[in-house]
Structure 1
């Protein structure tokens, strides 16, 4: 389900351009029945004009692009869009292979959906709704950028006012000593204004963090949608009670993870007072795994190590989320060439004789990276407010000071250890809390079982997400194939080395472990060029990059069983084999 609520009706419109007098009203009727707002445009100029005034998606018949002058109008309009805007374009193509002459002008547009006619009403409505969700996210990013600019403007005005007051302060003290009481009152007002400015800056920092997460979170949402959409497709095709139970369980897990991710994102957009409560740290970190991964890059591996008998911690969960996310972002910036982010926690009993004079039972939480480290001459200053080594516009200098203040306010302590070239560790001591009731049904992730099924068509499935892997295995088995699942590219190469009887490799593109799906495909082509490779992704940047790799088939997540079966047939079409591909 969409986590982005509809906004302005003007921005929700579906613009339709079709030269045939019948096609336009037909498309509008189908979409209107699905509850969508439509408008039929008379020509390409009207379409571009309406897009500039606000619209969700444009549905264009390919015949509308047959005139070169008309076809050039839309790409020129798209080139003038601001950085946040990439209007979705759905092109209804004539039934043929490849791009038509008209749609070729839009092939470089990153938000293009091609529907080959004839297509069903459900396909059209699903494609348009998916495009609308993407457009709503763009409008949300636009709103965040505007809010960020307004915050900066307000902050700049306050800083300018402070500068003017400071310039006149000494003169007023010298010339009007008799008005000392009035000057003191002004100083109190200045302190209050500075505190308000700092609060606004912290709020802007939260919004910036959410903006950085958008691309990665979209990838994870597509994985969750893949489980739900594919599960619905499978439920329509099977009456097996056990299989339906497994599919429904995976769909429930995906919905729960999507709900948890949305709850985490909303927490960063609110101001909350520090409200300590007992927290089960392993459950919290497992729930944050998607959020942390979205803040990192694909070349950074997350390693969470929790002591088996770990105590609960007594602190504010929202602030703890923010602290862990800030430390993860700092670790990402310290590892420009990739590495490992380790989050470890153990129990610690302190007797008060330590250097920070703490006594009692604490949980020692360590966030460690393998990055460039911190020079010793500035190590003692990293917890100071507004101290930063990042470029202007890349950091505020409040992240680590917030970490230190959070630990102190929680009744614990924070320290940092680092050596140049050998990474950095930030260690928090948080007080022990009372026992927390665990809800295993919500905190444990669903795990797929590897199946060693022998069959005429063996497929090596490479997918790091357990829920997506379980769903795709069910889809492949439903199509009559025998999948074997591995979690990353290195395991896939090892499996191919030990077993030469795989008929095809089906891999995700974005994966941890230092090797993505594109690099895996190239390695397979070098060693065993006779094995076809199909790649899948829900991450738009990875999809654009993969489209430049020759000879590879790309599936966009989420996909259904028909799309998957078609891709398998096409992959085998260029390979000589005596085996026939059938759908059970």
Structure 2
């Protein structure tokens, strides 16, 4: 459709009516002025002014461009249709209402007209799949289907949301990948490539799943039909062949005196409906090549086509040929190809490889597998298969090497994850036991401080012990963060809010030589995480980035923090085996520092691993980051190029629904209040030092305290004593754990208030605590925190 030219237009009917009304109003005003004021001059002035206004409006409407007075009623699609006509794909555009706006000629030819997607003539459940793809595209911006069948023809579909207001869908239909490859192979066999194979004596054919020939090269047409110009397409391939009683296959036309054939099937496509590529070679007779000296050329041509890593070695142990798959698997430099197989392996394996090649070159007929270590990748052994190659010209040994790079990478990631999990469990157990010790130390310090006042000789020493204990407690929190067992306080929040809170601190930390840049994307979904722990993640990564940039001769650099939304469609395109397909909010922290060497990228999240000088790093920074991200349900990846900086990408899943919690947290108060109380408390704790401190602390606050060393002893006390006002219990204990003991106690006293205390994380314990109306106090805690927790639980029970 051509664009509309600009023209001059007369006033429309509505505009003429407006002019008439304006003229009448002007005349009426002049008449009123004449009757009321009895002044002919004033009345004439009103009339002249109105006539001037009307005349000016008329002239402006008469000579103004129509394009300025009237908006175009439709959109010019001529350029879009020209571009669509130049595409070999079938293209269509629909609007929000599902109306077909535009389609090219290829679309009309493929679907027999202009049906509106998804209502196309598709086989099977194709229409429903196409409708689902359209809904996905409206939601995520894009969608694709790898295979649909329309009127017997396979195709792939890509649907993208487009338009200035994202109010249109562009549907692109193109041949499926397998069909494209098959079509290319078919044209190659029937064309000049097939002629080159024919010149080498290789007969090639492409066969449909039903056994019909799709294409055949010149030598096969001549051998099967008697003339190279014969038409074989559409004929049954099996009818050209016959087999004798010895199982040898020949062309039926040549009869029993014809040369036996070797048939090789080359799998290049998957699926039951995929065509088959077949190569036919003349079989050897009497130990001599059936087709003369070209036998080696035939084998070399076939080896170069196969996807398995293969190489030919002569009787002197030198390479004759390596196909592309072998080059990739053996990490061969194409510019400096090796001369002998031993040149590929480490020094310790050279002799074993040379002996095996020599043995098979001297006539050994069986094959053997051996594990070797490549010179350029000595840490990962690979499997080398060696077999004798007889009757292949100069070739004497056939080597096969599997490209296991992807498999090796997956094994390394699994081993890393297993190691991290094992170390994390160890760290969690150590932190739990250490928290019990710190609880006793901090508690005894608090009790001693109650008997000393500032100025006493022992007061400062006790304060120093308590301060060091609190530092040790922060170390256990780092261990628990790494092991994903720390106690989190998750909230539903937006990543930009967290970055804004910590940006001022980051500017001070970065200094004057490091520039901080923050970028926030649109449509960020909320995430559920602990804001304080998330800030720690950002600070740890930023400090590491600063150190990397300042270590580069102190020149500084730029730290870039980016928040953006990542849709499920984008995750699917990434093809990451670890990252599940879902909607994420992405937090990227990139620097321009020295980068991370490739050999240590896989170790940076390990605990106590650091590249800093002694005394300048604990090695827990990145392991803490890793633990916080994983415990928050997210994923973290590191990408770095030496000398070009590093980028840490944190994917946090978009929060869609609230997660109920099984316990209530008892938060310590900022200011001490009146902690005196009354009542009976049953204290259950298997650690003697913790139980003694807790008993003394509660007794000093006015409570009557009964103690038990495990769950069974507590139940015996409940059976012989009056009902306590509060039950305080450790969670993990020998003989009977805390939750089991509480369930039995609740059978006797259903409304008994419960306060659990533990050195493990609350999130870990929720899985085993399926009880209502219980509170939680994390270890280590001070005497004041224990007293506050007991008072708050008792006050809440009294209010209920």
Structure 2 length-normalised TM: 0.21
More helix by share: 1
More strand by share: 2
Higher RCO (CA-CA < 8 Å; seq separation 6+): 1
Structure 1 length-normalised TM: 0.29
Query: Highest CA radius of gyration, 1 or 2?
Result: 2
